Structure 1
């Protein structure tokens, strides 16, 4: 895209945004909110309070991070023991995970799906 086309597009977007800004300036809702904010800030300054002070008065628990004790945290379910029996040679493996040396060898030799079918229930 040429720089001139890009410039014209940006110029058009800017004109649209300026028109939208002018429309908002004339909005009675915006004027009402601006007036409210000004009066609120004046009141806070008069009594030497900040917005954070007001929030703490209205909702003392706001912004506080609740810390759960260690015992209350959910623990992971223990892995169940799987028993694999090789039908070719009768060897049996009991393991909770798939990181067993012989199990890996079987999966490499016979395929993972075949070995998973050997699980005793």
Structure 2
């Protein structure tokens, strides 16, 4: 590129940027921002504070708010997909034997069902939560 072409390209770029600058200067949003900035500088001067001090105060406040949000939104532990079976104690009134089982598939409970019948053996069952401590097995 010749020096003359480079000069003309920069001249054209400068003219377009001047036009863009002119439109930005008359934009009401820029006027509001410049007014806010001047009032902010006046306020900082009035209270003898630096921009950095004010920014650090705001950062601490924002960080405190973010920490509070983090603690509020902590997900709780997911509930189990299924509930574990509660143990039962079966106490045979004929022999006094006590068996802890979660279902009737337990070997001893199965034998009692065969001997005494399901309804009678189920009547012997007591929930584990009834006992404060495990009985002697």
Q: TM-score, normalized by length of structure 1?
A: 0.49
Computing the radius of gyration over CA atoms, which structure comes out larger, 1 or 2? 2
More helix per residue = 2
Q: TM-score, normalized by length of structure 2?
A: 0.43
